[in-house]
A and B are shown apart, each in its own frame.
Chain A
C-alpha cells in the first residue's frame, strides 16, 4: 500500500491556540503572519507552564525535597525531548541558553578563550554569510575585533541564494570557524549545508549552524547536518521566550572552556580555583530558565504529535500559494527566491515606492500582523538596495484564507497610497 502523506487538520490545530481567535480592538479578527519573529503558543504549552508553577516549582539540581526532584526531572526531561527532536547522539550535548543569540555568543566566546587547535587568534579567519541575522554577525565581529582574526563572508546572488562560487577562496586553511544560517529569516532561503560543511571539514574548520528558522518548521537532524554546533531559539517553535538551545559535539563541549561562571556549572570551588561540571552543566551557570525549558519540552511534544514532515509539507503548500498570489500584485517585488524550491515560509517583499512601515500600518488596520523593517538582517537590505521590506511568515496554523486576506490587504494599501 502506498502510504498517504499526512495532512494537517489546520482547523483543529488553530483551536489549540487561544490567541488565534482573538478579535482586535478595531473589531477585525487577527491574521497572524509574523511567525518568523515569534510563534504563538498552544494551550498545551500554556498548561505545562501553569502546571509547573502550580505543582512542581523548585530550584533544580540542588535539593533533596520532593519538589526539587520533580522540577529537576521536568527540566532534564525537556533536555531529553530536545535531544531526540534533533537526533542528538547524547542528551549531554544539549545546552540550554536563553535564546539563539546567547547560543551563538556562547560558541564565539568558547572559541575566543579556547586553547589550540580551536583557539581563534590573529592568524585565524572566521567565515559567515551576508544573509545572517545580526545575532550571527555581531558575536563574530566582536570575536574578530578582540582576537585580531579576519572576518570573511559569502555574498548573495540576485535571486537570494548564497554565492558559493568562490568557496575555496573564502574558506581556506586559515579558517577556524564557519557559521551560517540554515534558513534565512528575511529571504526564506534554505541553504545548501553539505557543500559548505564539506569544504569546512577539508580545511579543519568548525561548523556552526544557526537553525533558528529551521527547528520550528522542518526535521532537524544534527547528525545528518554534520555540524559541530547548532543553535536555535524556543519562542519561534511554540515555546515561551527565555529558552534557547546550543547543541554541540560532545568532545568539543568537553574540550572547550566555559564562558559564564557561577552556580550549577562547577564541580568544586575553593578560593583559589574551581573545577567544572561536565557538559552540558559546564555551560549553564546559575539557575536556568526552568519553566521555559519545561515549556519547550511541551512544545516539542506538540510538534512531534503533529509531525515535522507534515508541518513542512503544509508550509510548503502555503508558501507556493502565497508566492503565486503575491506575484499577482502590481509593483510587488519579492526579495528572495521567487519559487518554493529550497525555500521556507518567510516571504519578504517591497511594494512599489510605498515604504514598508506604511504597508504594515495599513495591513494592521485590517488585522493583519506582518513585520516591517530590516528584520535584523540589515546587510541583506543593503545588498538589494532597499531600505527595508515587508515580511509575511507562516506556520503550521496558517491558512490559504490568511494568504487571501494578505493579498486583499495589499490591494488596499496600493489604493490608499495610490
Chain B
C-alpha cells in the first residue's frame, strides 16, 4: 500500500521516540514555520570548532516533520561541518526527486526512509523543515563565530 511507502516504520519510530529533542545550549537559534500548515520548529546549533557539537530542537508538527528532525539529530551531530553539509545536500536532493531516487544509505542512513515522502509534494516541506532550519542556524552560528573567537 502507498501509505506504507510514506510512513515507513523507521519514520514512525523516530516520531514516537524522537532523538535529541529539547533545547540545549547553542551558538545560534532559529525559528522556522511552514506557513501552509503551521508546523513549527525552534532549533539550536552548537559548534565546537569545525565540528557540529549539538543540534537541539523543540517543535510541533506532523509525524514527517518531527521524525525528520530526529533523524537530522542522529545524522549530523558529531560530524564535521563539511560532511554535515554534504549530508544536508544529499537529503535535499532526495526530497526533491519526486520519488525517482532511493537515496544512498551510506550517506543518509535512516534518512533514506523519507524517499517515499518525496512523492507527495505537500509533504516535502514537512520533511525539509528542520533541515532548512539547521542550514540557517549553522550559517548564523558561523557568522557569529569570529566574534566569539576574538573575545
Which residues from chain A sit less than 8 Å from chain B, CB to CB? 26, 355-358, 361-362, 365, 372-374, 378, 381, 387-388, 416-417
Binds A, one of B21-29, B31-39, B94-102: B31-39
Report A-chain residues with C-beta under 8 Å of the C-beta of B151. Answer: none
Assess whether A388 is in contact with B3, with CB atoms less than 8 Å apart: no
Assess whether B62 is in contact with A355, with CB atoms less than 8 Å apart: yes
Say if the beta carbon of B19 comes within 8 Å of chain A.
no
Say if the beta carbon of B115 comes within 8 Å of chain A.
no
Report B-chain residues with C-beta under 8 Å of the C-beta of A416. Answer: 3, 7
Given contacts A355-B62, A357-B61, contact A372 B2 (CB under 8 A): no
Report A-chain residues with C-beta under 8 Å of the C-beta of B147. Answer: none
**Can you list 12 pairs linking A and B with CB atoms under 8 Å apart?**
A355-B60, A355-B61, A357-B39, A357-B123, A358-B7, A362-B3, A374-B38, A378-B38, A381-B38, A387-B38, A388-B37, A417-B63
Assess whether B2 is in contact with A26, with CB atoms less than 8 Å apart: yes
Assess whether B2 is in contact with A388, with CB atoms less than 8 Å apart: no
Instruction: Report B61-75 CB contacts with A as 1/0, cut-off 8 Å.
Output: 111101000000000
Give the residue among B12, B38, B60, B64 with the most A Cβ atoms within 10 A.
Answer: B38
Q: A355-B61, A355-B63, A356-B37 are in contact. List 16 more A-B contacts (CB 8 A).
A: A355-B60, A355-B62, A356-B62, A357-B37, A357-B61, A357-B63, A358-B7, A358-B63, A361-B7, A361-B120, A362-B3, A365-B2, A373-B36, A373-B37, A373-B38, A381-B38
10 closest A-B pairs by beta carbon, nearest first, are: A357-B62, A355-B62, A373-B37, A388-B38, A387-B60, A374-B38, A365-B3, A358-B63, A358-B62, A387-B38
Chain B positions 1-60 with a Cβ under 8 Å from a chain A Cβ:
1-3, 6-7, 12, 36-40, 60
Give the complex CA separation of A417 and B12 in angstroms.
8
Assess whether B36 is in contact with A387, with CB atoms less than 8 Å apart: no
Give the complex CA separation of A387 and B61 in angstroms.
8
Given contacts A355-B63, A357-B64, contact A387 B40 (CB under 8 A): yes
Assess whether A357 is in contact with B3, with CB atoms less than 8 Å apart: no
How far, in Å, is B129 (CB) from chain A's closest CB?
A: 11
How far, in Å, is B127 (CB) from chain A's closest CB?
A: 11
Mostly, the B contact residues are: mixed
Say if the beta carbon of B126 comes within 8 Å of chain A.
yes
Assess whether B61 is in contact with A361, with CB atoms less than 8 Å apart: no
Chain B positions 71-107 with a Cβ under 8 Å from a chain A Cβ:
none
How far, in Å, is B10 (CB) from chain A's closest CB?
A: 15
Report B-chain residues with C-beta under 8 Å of the C-beta of A388. Answer: 37-38
Closest to A357 in B: B62
Give the complex CA separation of A9 and B52 in angstroms.
65
Report B-chain residues with C-beta under 8 Å of the C-beta of A356. Answer: 37, 62
Report A-chain residues with C-beta under 8 Å of the C-beta of B64. Answer: 357-358
Report B-chain residues with C-beta under 8 Å of the C-beta of A373. Answer: 36-38
Report A-chain residues with C-beta under 8 Å of the C-beta of B120. Answer: 361
Give the complex CA separation of A122 and B61 in angstroms.
40
Report A-chain residues with C-beta under 8 Å of the C-beta of B60. Answer: 355, 387
Assess whether B123 is in contact with A361, with CB atoms less than 8 Å apart: yes
Report B-chain residues with C-beta under 8 Å of the C-beta of A362. Answer: 3
Assess whether B3 is in contact with A361, with CB atoms less than 8 Å apart: yes
Closest to A372 in B: B37
Report B-chain residues with C-beta under 8 Å of the C-beta of A378. Answer: 38
Report B-chain residues with C-beta under 8 Å of the C-beta of A361. Answer: 3, 6-7, 120, 123
How far, in Å, is B6 (CB) from chain A's closest CB?
A: 7
Report A-chain residues with C-beta under 8 Å of the C-beta of B7. Answer: 358, 361, 416
Give the complex CA separation of A355 and B129 in angstroms.
15
How far, in Å, is B84 (CB) from chain A's closest CB?
A: 27
Given contacts A357-B37, A387-B40, A388-B37, contact A365 B1 (CB under 8 A): yes
Report A-chain residues with C-beta under 8 Å of the C-beta of B37. Answer: 356-357, 372-374, 388
Give the complex CA separation of A208 and B38 in angstroms.
28
How far, in Å, is A126 (CB) from chain B's closest CB?
A: 24
Give the residue among B1, B2, B37 with the most A Cβ atoms within 10 A.
Answer: B37
Give the complex CA separation of A372 and B63 in angstroms.
14
Closest to A355 in B: B62
Closest to A381 in B: B38
Report B-chain residues with C-beta under 8 Å of the C-beta of A372. Answer: 37
How far, in Å, is A220 (CB) from chain B's closest CB?
A: 30
Report A-chain residues with C-beta under 8 Å of the C-beta of B36. Answer: 373
How far, in Å, is B120 (CB) from chain A's closest CB?
A: 8
Give the complex CA separation of A416 and B8 in angstroms.
12
Give the complex CA separation of A399 and B38 in angstroms.
31
Give the complex CA separation of A357 and B15 in angstroms.
13
Closest to A374 in B: B38
Among candidates A26, A357, A387, residue contacting B126 with C-beta atoms closer than 8 Å? A357
Chain B positions 103-132 with a Cβ under 8 Å from a chain A Cβ:
120, 123, 126
